[in-house]
Amino acid sequence: MVKQLTKTGNSLALVLDKKILEATQIDADTKLEVSTSGDTIIISPVRDKKRQAKIKKIMNDMNAKYAEAFRRLAD
């Protein structure tokens, strides 16, 4: 999907389609984190810290359990 920035006062705004907002469960009250990896802009909803910690633990557990398999797949 190609989007065009819209001038809003002295700033530029990106208007997101309703279908994208619904799919990502973002509404007018959702706080968003905006970051960049250099040439890419990343917009994501601010997630609950407990949820982030739970996901990190799951990823660490998977890595510990399947580290050798991951290494073989990487080769």
Task: Please report, for the domain that includes residue 29, its CATH number.
Answer: 2.10.260
Q: Is residue 51 part of a domain?
A: yes
Domain ranges, residue 45 = 6-74
Domain-embedded: residue 55: yes
CA distance 6 to 69: 48
In a domain? residue 59:
yes
Q: Kindly state whether residue 60 falls inside one of the protein's structural domains.
A: yes
What string of pLDDT tens digits covers the 75 residues of the chain? 899 999 999 999 999 999 999 998 899 999 999 999 899 999 998 877 887 888 889 999 999 999 999 889 998
pLDDT at 52: 80
Q: Quick check: is 1 in a domain? A: no
24 phi, psi to nearest 5 deg? -100, 5
Count: domains in the chain: 1
CA 13 – CA 47 distance, rounded (Å): 23
